[in-house]
Chains A and B, each alone.
Chain A
Amino acid sequence: MSNIKIVDAPEGLEGSGFFATSLDKAIGLARSYSLWPLPFATSCCGIEFMATMGSNYDISRFGAERPSFSPRQADLLMVMGTIAKKMGPVLKQVYLQMAEPRWVIAVGACASSGGVFDSYSVLQGIDRVIPVDVYVPGCPPRPEQIIDGLMQVQHLAQNESLRRRNTEEYKALLESYKVL
């Protein structure tokens, strides 16, 4: 147990000026340790996600064990597996139904870029439909890599200001995907 990295209290909580810390940090930390994933598992990578949820890798250590199959409750859309062109609109709708703040991980080669399936029916990467925050390479990625991806999202969540979702850049990003 000794070598477990423990979250430090947000800076500023110690010492006299304890309110100097911004709310952003605290909420960012809270968010990062409570990323409820929506496993959008279509194929092979979904099985690896099962392994990630399983006892040996245990995604719950990161507070991300409660899979929310309802997009309203999810914070993290994990797209795992091939997204065919037929599936694209569904994926987009799921993304639209999610509440802010939302993050997207493209797990595996198929979701990130189409991978080996360079064919008429496969979407060449989900970032043509929705904005993606983290790409996890591998086909399928090992659970370790999926956890890496999750930790990357945690990192993003911790460093995101509370107001980011209201900024112009973010709106422009959504606009570019026509999801606003």
Chain B
Amino acid sequence: MDFIQVPSSYIFYLAAAITFVFLRDRTLRSVLLICVPIIALIQVWNLEIGNHHQVDFFNLQLELMRVDKLSKVFGLIFCLAAFLGNLYAWHVKDVVQQIATLVYTGSAIGAVFAGDLVSLFFYWEGTAIASVFLIWARRTEASYHTGMRYLLIQISSGVILLAGLAVQFHTTGSIAFEKMELSSLSSFLIFISFGIKCAFPLLHNWLQDSYPAATVTGTVILSSFTTKLAIYALARSFAGTEILIYIGAIMTLFPIFFAEIENDLRRVLAYSLNNQLGFMVVGIGVGTELALNGTASHAFAHILYKSLLFMSVGAVLFRTGTSKASELGGLYKTMPLSALCCLIGAASISAFPLFSGFVTKSLIMDATATEHYPVIWCVLVFASAGVLSHSGIKIPYFTFFAHDSGLRPKEAPINMLIAMFITSFLCVFLGVFPDTLYNILPYEVNYKPYTISHVISQLQLLCFALLAFTVIMKLGFHPPEIRAINLDSDWVYRKYLPSIMLRIINRLGSVNESTRSGLENKISSGEQILLNIFGPTANFARVFTNGVMILWIAVIFTGALAIVLF
């Protein structure tokens, strides 16, 4: 085994261990955080195609380094994203966040190179557990609760993966992480598990719930890995599964509307992220070489421009303390460079020609067209207009322009600016020289994005959408930015189920009067209900006199005797 072929995740884990044990100095830690992704990037770049690192575990053979062109392209962008994210987070002193970032990125990269489901599961849970610290690192009670919800959902994804893997192992004896048909129980479970992480419709809400709750830098890191890992996993196992086309189409659609009326800009971006994932999922569903190339390249470009957008909004949040559209506006006066970067990100995500989104999204669009999915194609075009509406216009316009909020924050710190510049540069570079990206894609690319008809049609679509925006703004029909939240599917478990629970508990009458009146005040708090059943003063945990204990034994013994004798 060549030294260069050790699992890339080890590099990150080692760095995390070093940080944890040795590095007390802040600067050293920041330097390490930047260096590690670069080392990993060089390593991944030089990886040879093939399976490199086998480990025996429980009579199972784990493939820790399955390198092929698909895993390599995801490995590269993950390293790149880690580098940019860490550069952006240079100023962060919090060691918890730094370690979490290292473990998180390491796990994500490890998962990409995992050649079997067991090691995938390890890394899968690794990303879940490490990433939640980026949310908790905000250290408010709200972020704690959000983190809990996030963790629960992420862990359940891993658990379902584990269940699927167990069933598969039981039925076929194989733990291979390969292409599978969506026909057996095991593949269905695995599909759901990937789907949760990929934020499929109705399973999506952890995304919008948690990303706005993380720290400024944490969100940038978070936005790059978890969902794209799921995209990778889907592309690896379920390419060509037709249902994905429809799931993806719905994914591109519904977040548009939510994003349009959402006030918190980071949540707008989370919705937009969801919508972009839809494009990739459609690409996976189509499953042709062109479509998979489209998915891989779109994921690549997407990580960059989405980070860029999160970075610029993050910089605003960092300087002003809020990321709510209703509180912002007119910041271009004092944060012009951030505004410029934000505009570049917006142009990239809206797929303006010469920006990265243009050269990658069109691969997917073209694939749906060549495979004759006219409705899906129309939906994707529609969704492209939608992307423009919330990420292309809303984000930069309401943050940096629009009415003057009177805020005059300083320009973003220098490290943030450098990270944003590099990312902006990459967005433009990929848009201008798409072949650099096309060369590292899984399959041969015979696609020219810059044809006259393609450029013209895209420009027409975007310019007329912009025109529609101006007209609507002038007419005053645009939904105003107001301080409010919007219900989404998380309402079910944040509001509905707790109230049902409460009703049941009340019906059972197991709660005594005094606590019940207290309970009514906290109608939303499921915790209170649990407290009444399991809390220190509840029956389950009370300290009994030993007479009662003996009585219990008598009851159980009678039960046992009855079972045994009859």
Bound pair: A and B? no
